[in-house]
Structure 1
Amino acid sequence: MQYVPGLEGVPAVESRICTIDVENRCIIIRGKSLEKLATEKSFEEVAHLLVYGRLPDSDELKQFMKKLAYDRNIPEP
């Protein structure tokens, strides 16, 4: 194993979800620019993209939001 100060050029982990586009200085999440996702999509849309690998249509988004709301509930002791 070669020592590289600062770990420049050494991948920490391989990911199917995220890549770094060094040339364009941006992060790509499931094929979509992180900057565009952050400015154009809701939290729930991006969460769906991360979990299911694609952006939801309107019906899928409604169902996903219902599931998130249901799963947020804390049961009574």
Structure 2
Amino acid sequence: MTNPPEPISTSQPWPIRKAAGLTIEAAAAELHCSMATLSHTEGGHSANRDKITEYLDFLTRHQTTLAQYRSIAEL
């Protein structure tokens, strides 16, 4: 009997992407994938662990950059 890996939560991408001011088109262009791929990921309909992880990492990096920009703008 095998143990399947734990599913990755995909409830985070959409709110993070929206808060960062990113469109799904811009995110797809940066990640070199289709908007449908990201839409499926955001909707929890993707089993592609690599793409889910790549998307979450991209959003985390973008969110950090946005937070840094906002803190500099407040100075």
Greater fraction strand: 1
Calculate the TM-score normalised by the size of structure 1. 0.33
Calculate the TM-score normalised by the size of structure 2. 0.33
